[in-house]
Amino acid sequence: MVAARAEPAVEVTAPFIDLGGIGAAAPRLEVRLDLGAGIVLSIVRS
């Protein structure tokens, strides 16, 4: 008797944040993520 082999799972990664085209219409962009436990991730593009 031969044991069946499971196929490896294919992991599909989707974009976390899709900002699209950032042009002259958005001179400043700020993203703040509250990660919990008092931790805030802040990303600023200007």
Distance CA 39, CA 35 (A): 5
Distance CA 11, CA 20 (A): 23
Please name every residue paired with 21 in a beta bridge, in sequence order, or none if there are none.
none
- Distances in whole angstroms, Cα of residue 31 to Cα of each of 12, 15, 40: 24, 15, 10
Tell me what pLDDT residue 15 has.
Answer: 60
pTM score over 0.85? no
In this predicted structure, the answer to whether residue 26 has a pLDDT above a threshold of 80 is no
Q: What percent of the chain shows pLDDT beyond 70?
A: 63
